[in-house]
Structure 1
Amino acid sequence: MDRLSGLDASFLYLETPAQLMHVCGVIVIDPSTMPTPYSFAGFQAGIETRVRDVPEFTRKLRRVPLGLDHPIWVRDRQFDVERHVHRLALPGPGGYAELTALLGHLAALPLDRSRPLWEMWVIEGYDDDKVVVFMKIHHATVDGVSGNNLLAHLCSVEPDAAPAASADPPSFGRDVSKRELLGRAVLSRAALPVHVARILAPTVGGVVSTVARARAGTAMAAPLTAPRTSFNGTITGHRSIALTDLGLDDVRAIKTATGTTVNDVVLAVAGGALRAYLEERDELPDTSLLASVPVSVREVSKRATGANKVSSLFTRLGTDVEDPLERLEAMAVSNRQAKEHHQAISADSLQDWAEFAAPRTFGLAVRAYAGLRLAEKHPPAINLVISNVPGPPVPIYFLGGRVTALYPLGPVFHGAGLNVTVVSNNGQVHVGVIACRESMPDADALVRHFPTELARLREAVAAAEAGATPIAEARGARRR
């Protein structure tokens, strides 16, 4: 029996018509490299060949009677690829504006829970000859790392090569009788007090460590301390989407020159873009925006099951700092402290406590929170979510078509109606922005600042390198 972990199931319970919990990917493909000329029928058949033995693509949910425990995964014996892979033609003139408008509409559609929780929309006619695959898969099925692994089943490193094979044989959850399912649920609920006792000690240790770090000034930023912005309120089901690209060589050059990390540079650029966006609207808060940054704990987790093995750290984005180099320095320090703080907390703490999520109670609480618009009646927990996912460093091919761009899109939440997700791919950094459309009607107004802010940071680094003093000393002089 393949039971969902509490964290996986929580993404189901969090979902409402306005707060959809699927993640998306926008894959732009050049079909000219395909060994066989592109046709939708051939494309759809190729996808079926690659996914039919992959559990994440061919299993569906089975609920536990009375909602006594988290659902289980069972194989969909009636799996039909035609219910998952659809065809669309982009309306004229078939450019970026038409594409992002269509993607915003598709992202706002919920997945059918009676079938495997994914779908693809194959969009033809983009930029004259490109094919775009818009993929949606529920967060209960994947996190950032496992999503990349699933992409490997559809892609290869040569146009005519077979996709990468999984090292493990496919494992589908065993379907069970209603009586056995109910019995296991009762036993699972009865064991919860034992579970509490087991996780209480590491949780208390984490709290003590946090208090000590807070007193020493080395703790990560605390939630519920974020300033309010126009995208921090109750969200609707409408979405706006924007996409852009950055040069990975530029990011790495800045990282090397400043002794920071790629993630530091990406977050500093995002902070600059958000500052510029809010300044244009006379909305810039006096204090810095606060972001939640998902962190994979897959390598250190002690849990063998569960699709999502993630935790989260909180970091200030330096939107209250005008100088891009000073912002990067501040980001590097705060990120280092946040990582050290995060590592001092049990890697499985989020997964452990998520086991207590009750389907009915959780769902009712989320709907009450939205209906009463409580997100607007307390300080925002965070302003937005930012994810940075490493991607393939070499060219990849989707069913033989060269992938020219790969944009990830994460979910948005009540109180945090903006998500920025970044992935590196073959020398580029692809940035995907998705927002509640009522909170941010034009996501391009934000995303267009990303290349500009990267250029500003690159120029600031070059100016510091051209000076007589090292960058670190130059930064210190500016602070004085």
Structure 2
Amino acid sequence: MERMQGIDAGYLYMETPTMHMHTLKVALIEPREVFTMVRFKDELLSRLNQLPPLRRRALPAPFALNHPLWIFDRPIDPDRHVFHHTVPAPGGMAELEALIGTVASTPLDRSIPLWELHVCEGLADGRVAVIGKLHHALADGIAANALLANITDQNHSAQTDLVTRVEQTPSTIEQVRLALRDAVALFPRLGALLWRTSVSLRALVRHRRHSDVAVPRPVLDAPRTSFNGPLTSRRIFATCTLPLDEIKEIRRTHDVTINDVVLGVVAGALRRWMGDRGERLSTALVAGVPVGTDPPNGPVRLGGNRVSNLFTTLATDIDDPFERLREISRTTAEAKNVQQTLGPSMLIDWVQFTPPGPFSAALRLYSKSRAAAKHPPPLNVIVSNVRGPGDEVTISGARLSDLFSVGPILEGIGLNVTAWSYGERLNISLLSCPDLLDDLGPLVAELRPALDELHATEKRVAK
């Protein structure tokens, strides 16, 4: 039993009936033998000891006196976590993606550990799709990657003994005592955080005086688009796969990062797609880019969140894809400098002091009143890039042939684009709300041409 960190709890507080804060992980598996749900559930139970976050549920503090507790006080009931689906005929990716959108449209049950697995049979090629639905409070992309690694056959060090011991649920009086004790222990840190913040803000002012690169400001610089508005509970999902070696080639040629290239591809696709819809903007789209703040070569982390956000331009107001990529790279580099000046953990440290009751109530009121329609969006799109397994892996002898992932969308920000590498592929997943963006297909179709556009600029660099 342990107190949930503020940054993890924040994802619980943000959740409303229309804003679901779970992430999706979609694994396409080639079974080595006849697949059965009974065998799948048995295999899952045998591996839960290697997946500690999946054994714990969130126990809210009485009267919202503090962040919830993580507690393992009940055995896992697989029937409440694992569900079976049949992909409609003809069993292609389009039918699977539609099913994934349906799965994404409902929140997780807060009374049990915050995850579900949806097993999908009926794919025409004989593969089985497993949709993992994992609340963001449990793990960010880096931790989710470590959880996956922990259950692969390639990880020989993982233990397989099932732990059945459960903790005793504390009484309400004991929960109150623990909540107050932990709150009192936390507050001496506030003075040091205030001082550190003031020092960092002064350093940022000095830095900005000498910088000639402007980082976009949330709300102030983001134009309104058709996909920026209040959400409903419904979700749609789509995927695209691009060759990772082509992404790396563009990175080397232009001396930028892989993340810059991903942003450039997304920018090019959005620009072309919006132009085809007659949606032309005079100012550039603004992207929020989640970035991990784990120290280099730190210990493997199997749960929780160590993530901050960068705000950068997608330079969609620039016609030339070469100049667009350069502007994205320059702005993203400056956004990283800003983050380093403030301190990578600044946001995480402040969120620790989030008051659970008022914050959650405010977000629910915001969603219910559809307030996102009444002001400019904080930003236009969330774009994530996570490095997945470099080599293909197997789980219980079954080949994991592909892997996709996507994070949540937020009120006012109705599009999430997540790139997750696996082997030699960059698998891109898109999530949106059909009441804002009714069909992701035309946007997905522009990703490959946007990559080709960047390829064409390599000749100019070579000259």
Q: Deviations over 1:138-190 (max 9, x none)?
A: 01100110011111233234xxxx666279x9998775443332122223334
Classify 1:52/1:75 alpha carbon distance in 2 versus 1 (closer, same or farther; 3 Å).
same
Is 2:359 the partner of 1:342? no
- Tell me the equivalent position of 2:283: 287
Q: Give the secondary structure class of the aligned counterpart of 1:179.
A: helix
1: distance between equivalents of 2:302 and 2:387? 23
Q: Give the secondary structure class of the aligned counterpart of 2:76.
A: coil
Q: Give the secondary structure class of the aligned counterpart of 2:379.
A: coil
Pick the aligned partner of 2:64 from 51, 64, 67. 67
1: distance between equivalents of 2:347 and 2:3? 17
Q: Give the secondary structure class of the aligned counterpart of 2:279.
A: coil
1: distance between equivalents of 2:97 and 2:315? 29
Q: Give the secondary structure class of the aligned counterpart of 2:215.
A: coil
Q: How does 1:41-120 map to 2 (within 5 A)?
A: 41-52=38-49, 54-120=51-117
Deviation, 1:128, is: 3.2
- Tell me the equivalent position of 1:351: 348
2: distance between equivalents of 1:29 and 1:192? 45
Is 2:208 the partner of 1:214? yes
Counterpart code for 2:70: W
Is 2:37 the partner of 1:40? yes
Deviation, 1:191, is: 5.0
Q: Is the 8 A contact 1:309 1:351 kept in 2?
A: yes
Q: Give the secondary structure class of the aligned counterpart of 1:126.
A: coil
2: distance between equivalents of 1:282 and 1:213? 39
Classify 1:44/1:187 alpha carbon distance in 2 versus 1 (closer, same or farther; 3 Å).
closer
2: distance between equivalents of 1:164 and 1:148? 16
Pick the aligned partner of 2:254 from 258, 263, 267. 258
2: distance between equivalents of 1:166 and 1:195? 37
- Tell me the equivalent position of 1:199: 193
Q: Which runs of 5+ in 1 are unaligned?
A: 468-480
Deviation, 1:71, is: 0.7
Deviates most, 280-289 or 212-221: 212-221
Q: Give the secondary structure class of the aligned counterpart of 2:342.
A: coil
Deviation, 1:346, is: 2.0
- Tell me the equivalent position of 2:218: 223
Q: Is the 8 A contact 1:6 1:351 kept in 2?
A: yes
2: distance between equivalents of 1:246 and 1:317? 19
Q: Is the 8 A contact 1:154 1:163 kept in 2?
A: no
1: distance between equivalents of 2:233 and 2:196? 38
2: distance between equivalents of 1:286 and 1:173? 58
Deviation, 1:463, is: 4.8
1: distance between equivalents of 2:387 and 2:8? 22
Deviation, 1:27, is: 1.1
Q: Is the 8 A contact 2:27 2:403 kept in 1?
A: yes
Classify 1:120/1:164 alpha carbon distance in 2 versus 1 (closer, same or farther; 3 Å).
farther
Q: Give the secondary structure class of the aligned counterpart of 1:156.
A: coil
- Tell me the equivalent position of 1:477: none
Is 2:20 the partner of 1:25? no
- Tell me the equivalent position of 2:4: 4
- Tell me the equivalent position of 1:180: 174
Counterpart code for 1:278: M
2: distance between equivalents of 1:192 and 1:120? 36
Q: Is the 8 A contact 1:220 1:313 kept in 2?
A: no
Deviation, 1:53, is: 5.2
Is 2:295 the partner of 1:299? yes
Deviation, 1:305, is: 11
Counterpart code for 1:180: E
Classify 1:421/1:175 alpha carbon distance in 2 versus 1 (closer, same or farther; 3 Å).
same
Q: Give the secondary structure class of the aligned counterpart of 2:241.
A: strand
Q: Is the 8 A contact 2:14 2:363 kept in 1?
A: yes
- Tell me the equivalent position of 2:152: 155
Deviation, 1:211, is: 2.9
Q: Give the secondary structure class of the aligned counterpart of 1:276.
A: helix
2: distance between equivalents of 1:48 and 1:405? 23
Counterpart code for 1:19: M
- Tell me the equivalent position of 1:474: none
2: distance between equivalents of 1:174 and 1:424? 41
Counterpart code for 1:23: T
Deviation, 1:246, is: 0.5
Q: Give the secondary structure class of the aligned counterpart of 2:122.
A: strand
Deviates most, 207-216 or 411-420: 207-216
Deviates most, 248-257 or 376-385: 376-385
- Tell me the equivalent position of 2:322: 325
2: distance between equivalents of 1:308 and 1:344? 21
Q: Is the 8 A contact 2:242 2:427 kept in 1?
A: yes
Q: Is the 8 A contact 2:254 2:461 kept in 1?
A: no
Q: Is the 8 A contact 1:324 1:460 kept in 2?
A: yes
2: distance between equivalents of 1:277 and 1:398? 39
Deviates most, 435-444 or 455-464: 455-464
2: distance between equivalents of 1:166 and 1:438? 45
Classify 1:173/1:19 alpha carbon distance in 2 versus 1 (closer, same or farther; 3 Å).
farther
Deviation, 1:107, is: 0.4
1: distance between equivalents of 2:261 and 2:167? 42
Deviation, 1:378, is: 2.1
Deviation, 1:193, is: 4.6
- Tell me the equivalent position of 1:235: 231
Classify 1:29/1:285 alpha carbon distance in 2 versus 1 (closer, same or farther; 3 Å).
same
- Tell me the equivalent position of 2:270: 274
Q: Is the 8 A contact 1:241 1:444 kept in 2?
A: no
1: distance between equivalents of 2:260 and 2:108? 34
- Tell me the equivalent position of 2:409: 412
Q: How does 1:130-149 map to 2 (within 5 A)?
A: 130-149=127-146
TM-score (norm. length: structure 1): 0.90
Q: Is the 8 A contact 1:264 1:335 kept in 2?
A: yes
Classify 1:173/1:381 alpha carbon distance in 2 versus 1 (closer, same or farther; 3 Å).
farther
Q: Which runs of 5+ in 2 are unaligned?
A: none
